[in-house]
């Protein structure tokens, strides 16, 4: 391989920097999903306890709080995913895929996001059902 066609040192530095940013954002998605699962689990536990108590105003208010938590953490998850898309765009525009791909298959990586993108909606829907149940019951 000639010097003209071999990868430059600064290309590898840029590749490592983008890969580090990608990993950071991916870890943020993971942490935020864990925050959501933990916080929603605690909220559902408290809601179940309140449901059997005589505090009707809290039973009506808790679903709105649960939806707000799901929405806020969901926005932060989507923001981290958007950041990975931007990193991918910069990676592709810099032509660094010739050195080494960020992910093995771009379509597979997209399907891997479905859980992270869907979980906030699942929790929000559960809170809507809890509210409807509390109003109907």
What is the maximal distance between C-alpha atoms in the chain?
Answer: 79
Q: What per-residue confidence (pLDDT) applies to 2?
A: 46
Q: What per-residue confidence (pLDDT) applies to 48?
A: 87
- State the Cα–Cα distance between residues 20 and 99, nearest whole angstrom: 15
- pLDDT-derived band at 5, boundaries 50, 70, 90: low
Render pLDDT for 46-91 as a digit per residue (tens, 0 to 9): 998 887 777 777 888 899 999 999 999 999 999 999 999 999 899 8
CA 114 vs CA 9, 78, 107: distances in Å:
36, 11, 12
Contacts by residues 16-22 (CB-CB < 8 Å, ≥ 24 positions apart): 18/87, 18/90, 18/91, 18/94, 18/96, 18/102, 19/102, 21/83, 21/87, 22/84, 22/87, 22/88, 22/91, 22/102
Q: What is the DSSP letter of 102?
A: S
Query: What is the value of pTM for the model shown?
Result: 0.83
């Amino acid at each position: 391989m000639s010097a003209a066609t071999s990868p430059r040192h600064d290309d590898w530095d840029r590749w490592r920097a983008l890969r580090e940013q990608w990993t950071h954002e991916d870890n943020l998605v993971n942490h935020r999903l864990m925050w959501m699962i933990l916080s929603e689990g605690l909220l559902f536990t408290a809601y179940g306890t309140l449901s059997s108590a005589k505090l009707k105003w809290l039973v009506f208010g808790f679903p709105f709080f649960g939806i707000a938590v799901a929405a806020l953490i969901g926005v932060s998850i989507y923001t981290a995913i958007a950041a990975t898309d931007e990193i991918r765009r910069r990676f592709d525009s810099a032509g660094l895929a010739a050195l080494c791909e960020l992910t093995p298959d771009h379509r597979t990586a997209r399907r891997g996001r479905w859980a992270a993108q869907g979980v906030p909606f699942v929790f929000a829907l559960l809170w809507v059902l809890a509210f409807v149940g509390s109003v109907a019951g």
